[in-house]
Amino acid sequence: MAIQKLSSRIDSVKIYAAGATVTRIAELQLIPGELPEQVEIAQLPLALEDSSVRVRVETIQGNVPIAGDIRIGLAVPPPSETPNPPPEEELRAAKIAVKQIEDIIRLIDREISVLNQLEVPARPESDIGLAPPASPMSARLALANFSDEQIRLRIQEKRENLEKLAKAKENLADLEQKQAIASRARNAKPEELRKTVIVSLSYENETSDLNQTIGLILEYFVPGARWTPTYVCRLNSVENQATIAVRALICQRTGEDWSSVKLELSTANPIFWCAIPELPSLRLGKAQPEIRKAGWRKPPVGAEILFEDFDRQKESALADVRKYSRRLMSGYSSDLLSGSGKSERRAYRVADEELSGQGFLESSESQDLQFLSDELLDKEEMVDFSELESLVSESTSLQRLSARPTPASALEPLSARLTPASAAPAPSMARRSSKYDLESRNFPKVGSQDEFKTDFLPYGLMRMGTADNREKRGKLAIAQTQELYLEILHQQKVVVNFNILEVVQQAVYSAQECLTFPLPPGGINVRKVAASFDYSYSADGRIDIPSDGQFHSVALTSKTTDVDVRYIVVPREDTNVFRIAQLRNPLSAPLLSGPADVYVDGEYILSTNIVTVPPQGQMELGLGVEQAIKVARNTSYWEVRSGETIVAFNELCHQIKIEIANRLKRNAKIEVRERLPIPEEGAKVEVKIEQVSPEWQQYKQEERGTPIKGGYLWQIEVPAKEQTTLSVDYKIKTFVDSELIGGNRRE
């Protein structure tokens, strides 16, 4: 049954840290009694990974087919309008017409040349003393007029024939051009190549009378796609809410545009082998020897015995064919001696039919015998019958058809004896070797058996050798990639005149160039940020992404969460009060680090980079300086001697006052950070806090990754349109004869 071709569309795409998995949907109409055994899904990108192709069947009810074997090959789209070549009779008639007109023109030229050589005879000379003879003028004028008239008529006729010749040549050129276009219609072009998938279907109940439409889901992996996250945060100060819009910059160069697809982004690495760990059991008692699990089985012994009957019948059949060919050639020995060569051609063709019909002759050998029979028919040299008989016996011997490697020049002695040394090789043989002899080409290593070392279950790529091949019969071997690719092209009778593996490899390189492009400002490698965990992000709607290798910004989802605005000031360093928006991650996945645009009440504030926030974790966004809150820090200092004893101390008194004025229309939660001096270990210095108003707490700055000592903070709430004052008194106690480095005054 013919392969049924199905059209498909891209339904969803899952983009990983590098590469993407594309899901296509093809619909198949099942008609009772006409259930297809094979379907083809074409127009797939060249860069797809062959080992990643997966097919499954989805249906609601009724007869559910089972997707079995999957074959991947190359194909070219059918031409939109296949030109029909002109008939040979029409082309031959056009050539004859051109030749006839050219012959007429040459004949006219010769007639004109003859007429130009026709001269009017001169006046006859008279004898001396006699009157001149008569020379009629009318006859001389008639001859001259006849010559001029005939030349004029032939020039006119030549002009007309030249016009006919131009039209005939134009007609012939059109016919030849149509023939050339028609002959090149099935020639594959590198830019037309696409991968195709052929799926074999089997049915549990082929007699089902239910008409239904099933869906074939095709999945495959393609390199050349990456993404990096971006965000847009919109704060509403009135409702104390924030909307986080998750976006992504996506770049893809897979060879196919993604139009209206369901998009999912993942931080995982798709090409990564992961084995499930085995937990060893603990046994109490006598130790038992460890059982080693074998990962493979030895092939069965005696597989060659299965082919003994085949080899025996093959030898008998070949012996009968040789005898039959000798009888045929002996019956036509007279024709051979006369140089006709027809009996030799018949002998070769009979041998070809006998061997091919019984399955003992390979296709390449059958082509060689056919080529020899055609070549011998065209030879005009005398061929010795005894020599020819030995050559036929040699060419069809069991040794030539055995499984041992046979050189391509197995029939070279015959060709060398029948063809002069200076003659060029036969066109048919040269053409066959240039188009079909793939082993002689220097293909790149891609597609060789080394390529499948990472494929653990390449069952679909395995082929079993034929019974004629003693080395490969009864054994499974991975087929070469170029053979698999050319299989479908040969079935479609498409001529390939270039290296297909180079074209496929170039498509893969072109797709992987996308991974080397520099990321936009603020972009990150999602695989490195995700660490040991993998997450996915799904888009709410369908997305369009062209395959142009450029980064495109797309919207994924948008979530709303509550926001709490607080203020932070470090008056010791700067009296500016900074706004901090604290909100919870509304996603079930983390917010990866990336650039974010922040808007407050519809007004753009700034762009910043957020750090990775775990699921449902707290995050902070800096909103810049709040001009409506003013802070002033005032300090005072004095020294006091503690006593008049032998060992006296100096008390360095410090007082810090921080005044805060809230000019907002709402209460403000303000975090004031301060830091006191800390003596070094072993130093004879004491720092003592006398009084703090209001109470504060220690602050170590661990959330920033740079811990400090001596840090404190106040967390206060200043009512709207009001002021408050913070104060702290502390003393530094040293010996009288000692002084602090940098001066005793700390503030």
At 21 the pLDDT is 94
Q: What is the tens place of the pLDDT at every residue in 6-32? A: 899 999 999 998 899 999 999 888 877
At 92 the pLDDT is 85
How far apart are alpha carbons 341 and 121 in whole angstroms? 65
Q: What is the tens place of the pLDDT at every residue in 104-131? A: 999 988 888 888 887 777 777 777 777 7
Whether 314 is covered by a domain: the verdict is yes
Domain end marker among 383, 413, 440: 440
Whether 513 is covered by a domain: the verdict is no
Whether 284 is covered by a domain: the verdict is no
At 369 the pLDDT is 44
How far apart are alpha carbons 656 and 705 in whole angstroms? 28
At 246 the pLDDT is 93
Question: pLDDT-derived band of residue 442, with 50, 70 and 90 as boundaries?
Answer: very low
Q: How many CB atoms lie within 10 A of CB 594?
A: 23
Count H helices, E strands: the chain?
12, 26
Residue 455 per-residue DSSP state: -
At 335 the pLDDT is 46
Domain that holds residue 414: 308-440
Q: Which of 201-215, 535-549, 703-717 has the lowest mean pLDDT?
A: 201-215
Q: Give the per-residue SS3 of 184-211.
A: CCCECCHHHCEEEEEEEEECCCCCCCCC
187 Cβ contact partners less than 8 Å away, ≥ 6 residues apart: 494, 495, 497
Whether 107 is covered by a domain: the verdict is yes
pTM here? 0.62
At 88 the pLDDT is 78
How far apart are alpha carbons 301 and 313 in whole angstroms? 23
At 353 the pLDDT is 52
Q: Could you give the C-alpha distances from 263 to 70, 243, 554, in angstroms and in order?
A: 26, 21, 10
Per the model's pLDDT, the better-predicted residue between 277 and 459 turns out to be: 277
Q: In the predicted model, is pLDDT for residue 547 greater than 60?
A: yes
Q: How many domains does the chain have?
A: 3
How far apart are alpha carbons 49 and 244 in whole angstroms? 36
Average pLDDT over residues 395-422: 34
Whether 614 is covered by a domain: the verdict is no
Q: Give the per-residue SS3 of 541-610.
A: EEEEECCCCCCEEEEEEEEEEEEEEEEEEECCCEEEEEEEEEEECCCCCCECCEEEEEEECCEEEEEEEE
Closest CA to 535 of 291, 321, 264: 264
- Say if residues 95 and 184 touch (Cβ distance below 8 Å): no
Domain end marker among 374, 407, 440: 440
Q: Could you give the C-alpha distances from 338 to 383, 385, 419, 469, in angstroms and in order?
A: 9, 11, 18, 40
Per the model's pLDDT, the better-predicted residue between 176 and 356 turns out to be: 176
Q: Which of 95-99, 439-443, 686-690, 741-745 has the lowest mean pLDDT?
A: 439-443
Whether 518 is covered by a domain: the verdict is no
Highest mean pLDDT among 329-333, 341-345, 495-499, 628-632: 628-632
Kindly state the helix (H) or strand (E) to which residue 356 belongs, with its residue range.
Answer: helix 342-357
Question: pLDDT-derived band of residue 734, with 50, 70 and 90 as boundaries?
Answer: confident
| Bond from prior residue into 124 cis (ω within 30 degrees of 0) | no
Question: pLDDT-derived band of residue 432, with 50, 70 and 90 as boundaries?
Answer: very low
Question: What are the phi and psi torsion angles at 132 (to 5°)?
Answer: -60, 145
At 219 the pLDDT is 94
Beta bridge partners of residue 655, listed in sequence order: 636, 729
CATH number of residue 723's parent domain:
2.60.40
Whether 316 is covered by a domain: the verdict is yes
Share of the chain above pLDDT 90, in %: 20
Q: CA angle, corner 365, sides to 485 and 482, nearest 5?
A: 10
Domain end marker among 440, 469, 497: 440
DSSP string, 372-431: HHHHHHT--S---HHHHHHHHHHHTSTTTTSSS---TTTTHHHHHHHS-TTSPPPHHHHH
At 218 the pLDDT is 93
Q: What is the tens place of the pLDDT at every residue in 353-394? A: 544 544 444 444 444 444 444 444 443 333 333 343 443 444
At 408 the pLDDT is 34
Token pair, residue 501, equals: 């593996």
Q: What is the tens place of the pLDDT at every residue in 485-528? A: 877 777 777 777 888 888 888 888 888 888 888 888 888 888 88
Closest CA to 240 of 559, 560, 558: 560
Half-sphere exposure of 299 (CA within 13 A, CB side): 6
How far apart are alpha carbons 84 and 225 in whole angstroms? 43
Q: Which of 56-70, 102-116, 270-284, 435-449 has the lowest mean pLDDT?
A: 435-449
How far apart are alpha carbons 361 and 369 in whole angstroms? 10
Q: In the predicted model, is pLDDT for residue 647 greater than 80?
A: no
Whether 719 is covered by a domain: the verdict is yes
